[in-house]
């Protein structure tokens, strides 16, 4: 696990302190409306106890970070990350909103603004706080099935109605061995009665020990015809410091062995042909493809060598940037399944409208995309990494039905 420099920690603490000082300045404009001096002082004291406690905890945690076990380290980093976001973001929004209201005071009369501006500003802080808190406590385990029907002339008739379930970015280390948290997801998947189940990478955060005990959970997954998987960027151990190359390789091999344990075939730059009534489709799986500094292990040319003649191809590729770079217009692969983005674990979605800051990094970041006769589906991820929450971006189970187009 990569360490964060002391200078970065110092900048983080300075940012938290700066926002809190500004927030406290505006908070006083609200507490001044309270008649009870005791109650007002109590709010101020609690405000600074939380701020000082958070900053002190971050600094102490940084000092002791190298002396604790990797399991506890991963858990504590995630919790502190969540606590910092829960503290920082609502206060930042509160400061921005109340500053705008105050300095553009043309909406209210002077007498009304003394009451309305503080109340609106306070509400703007509390609402994000409770939204983030809900995302941390509840939403990250509210698994949602996204159902899509794809019709294509390239699909052989014997495969009409083929049902696929795609899972991606499980990041099992983040669940901290809470196996029951995935029970509802397993039930939803089995209820769909899929023909095939695909996992498109990032089974772990970094280490093979994150997989302990999960075998019995994933063996419950049921598919009629088969289960396949590929690796994601986090499955290679590239984000950790290792005592030796041998230790890294052992970790990598143990992750691959886990897939055999749960009856998933791991596709490493290879393909498998599925036959039915003398017709064929191909399932292709490449290792991780990514833009630098992410290492590239994918070899699409090698993977499709033996299936060039197959009319309908499904590609499993973890990073959606692979699709425009090497797949569309360069191959005849009909459907590509990817993940990686998590939808940033935060978005605004309403009916067909969806927005997330991640769109400025990834052109294809969540859902179904089409280019001519080629499709890409980007799974929003079943787990979470870093920020222990899902805000407007529930963990996803993708359910795709393939239909032969007349």
Q: Could you tell me the domains of the chain?
A: 6-137 (no CATH), 143-404 (3.60.21.10)
CA dihedral over 102, 107, 108, 109, signed as positive or negative: positive
pTM of the predicted model as reported, rounded to 2 decimal places: 0.90
Region label for 144, one of left (φ > 0), alpha (ψ between -120 and 50) or beta (otherwise): beta
In the numeric block, which tokens belong to residue 300? Answer: 């699409």
Angle between the N-to-C axes of helices 37-64 and 6-31, in degrees from 0 to 180, rounded to the nearest 10:
170
Residue 123, helix vs strand vs coil: helix
pLDDT digit string (tens) for the chain, length 406 residues: 455 677 888 888 898 899 999 989 888 877 877 778 888 899 899 999 988 988 888 888 777 766 666 666 777 778 778 888 888 899 899 888 878 877 776 445 555 555 666 677 678 888 899 999 999 999 999 999 999 999 999 999 999 999 999 999 999 999 999 999 999 999 999 999 999 999 999 999 999 999 999 999 999 999 999 999 999 999 999 998 899 999 999 999 999 999 999 999 999 999 999 999 999 999 999 999 988 889 999 999 999 999 999 999 999 999 999 999 999 999 999 999 999 999 999 999 887 788 999 999 999 999 999 999 999 999 999 999 988 999 999 999 999 999 998 8
Give the count of beta carbons closer than 10 Å to the beta carbon of residue 52: 12
């Amino acid at each position: 696990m990569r360490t964060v420099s002391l200078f970065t920690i110092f900048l983080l603490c300075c940012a938290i302190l700066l926002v809190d000082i500004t927030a406290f300045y505006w908070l006083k404009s609200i507490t001044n409306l309270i008649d009870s001096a005791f109650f007002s002082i109590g709010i101020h004291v609690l405000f600074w106890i939380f701020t000082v406690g958070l900053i002190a905890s971050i600094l102490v945690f940084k000092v002791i970070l190298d002396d604790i076990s990797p399991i506890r380290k991963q858990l504590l980093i995630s919790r502190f990350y969540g606590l910092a976001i829960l503290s920082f973001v609502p206060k930042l929004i509160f400061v921005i909103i109340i500053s705008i209201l105050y300095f553009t005071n043309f909406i209210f009369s002077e007498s009304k603004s003394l009451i309305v501006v503080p109340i609106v500003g306070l509400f703007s802080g509390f609402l994000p706080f409770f939204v983030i808190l809900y995302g941390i406590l509840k939403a990250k385990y509210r698994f949602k099935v996204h159902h899509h029907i794809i019709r294509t002339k390239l699909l052989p008739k014997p495969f009409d109605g083929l049902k696929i379930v795609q899972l991606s970015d499980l990041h099992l280390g983040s669940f901290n061995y809470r196996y029951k948290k995935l029970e509802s997801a397993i039930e939803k998947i089995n209820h769909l009665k899929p023909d095939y189940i695909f996992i498109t990478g990032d089974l772990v955060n970094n280490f093979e020990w994150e997989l302990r005990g999960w075998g019995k959970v994933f063996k419950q997954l049921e598919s009629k015809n088969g289960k396949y998987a590929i690796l994601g960027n986090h499955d290679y151990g590239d984000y950790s410091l290792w005592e030796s190359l041998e230790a890294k390789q052992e970790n990598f091999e143990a992750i691959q062995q886990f897939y055999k344990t749960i009856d998933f075939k791991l596709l490493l730059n290879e393909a498998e042909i599925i036959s039915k009534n003398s017709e064929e489709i191909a399932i292709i799986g490449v290792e991780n493809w990514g833009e630098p500094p992410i290492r590239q292990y994918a070899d699409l040319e090698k993977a499709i060598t033996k299936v060039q003649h197959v009319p309908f191809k499904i590609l499993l590729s973890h990073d959606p940037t692979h699709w425009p770079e090497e797949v569309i217009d360069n191959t005849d692969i009909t459907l590509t399944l990817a993940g990686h983005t998590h939808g940033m674990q935060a978005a605004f979605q309403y009916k067909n409208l969806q927005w997330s800051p991640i769109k400025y990094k990834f052109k294809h970041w969540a859902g179904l995309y089409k280019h001519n006769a080629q499709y890409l589906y980007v799974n929003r991820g079943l787990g979470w990494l870093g920020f222990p929450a899902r805000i407007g971006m529930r963990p996803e189970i993708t359910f795709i039905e393939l239909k032969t187009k007349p």
